[in-house]
Amino acid sequence: MSRHRVVVIGSGFGGLTAAHALKRAPKGCPVDITLISKTTTHLFQPLLYQVATGILSEGEIAPTTRLILRKQKNVRVLWGDVSAVDLTAKTVTSGLMGMETVTPYDSLIVAAGAQQSYFGQDHYALYAPGMKSLDDALELRGRILGAFEAAEVATDPQERTRRLTFVVVGAGPTGVELAGEIVQLAERTLSGAFRTITPSECRVVLLDAAPGVLMPMGPKLGLKAQQRLEKMGVEIQLNAMVTAVDYMGITIKDKDGGERRIDCACKVWAAGVAASPLGKMIAEQSDGTEIDRAGRVIVEPDLTVKGHPHVFVVGDLMSVPGVPGMAQGAIQGARYAARIITATTKGRDNPTERAPFKYLNKGSMALISRYNAVAQVGKVEFAGFVAWLAWLVLHLYYLVGHRNRMAAMFAWGISFLGRTRGQMAITSQMMYARPVAEWVEKHAKDGALAAAEHAEEAEKQASV
The residues annotated as belonging to the active site are 177
Beta strands in 293-371 (DSSP E): 297-298, 304-305, 308-313, 318-319, 364-369
Gap between the Cα atoms of 203 and 333, Å rounded: 41
Q: Report the length, in residues, of the chain.
A: 464
**Residue 6: φ, ψ to 5°:** -115, 130
Burial 129-164 (b: 16+ CB within 10 A, else e): bbbbbbbbbbbbbbbbbbbbebbbebeeeeebbbbb
- For the chain, the first-to-last Cα distance in angstroms comes to 64
DSSP, collapsed to helix, strand or coil, labels residue 183 as helix
Burial grade of 1 (CB within 10 A; 0-12, 13-18, 19 or more): exposed
Going by their DSSP bridges, the two strands 266-269 and 304-305 should be labelled as unpaired
The answer to whether 36 and 6 have CB atoms below 8 angstroms apart is no
**Residue 320: φ, ψ to 5°:** -130, 125
Q: Which amino acid is at 232?
A: M
β partners of residue 6: 33, 107
Gap between the Cα atoms of 392 and 389, Å rounded: 5
Gap between the Cα atoms of 285 and 272, Å rounded: 27
Question: Angle, to 10 degrees, between the axis of helix 173-184 and the axis of helix 219-232?
Answer: 20
Rounded CA Rg of the chain:
24
Q: What is each CA distance from 379 to 30, 214, 221, 364, in whole angstroms?
A: 42, 16, 12, 11
Gap between the Cα atoms of 207 and 217, Å rounded: 17
DSSP, collapsed to helix, strand or coil, labels residue 5 as strand
DSSP, collapsed to helix, strand or coil, labels residue 432 as helix
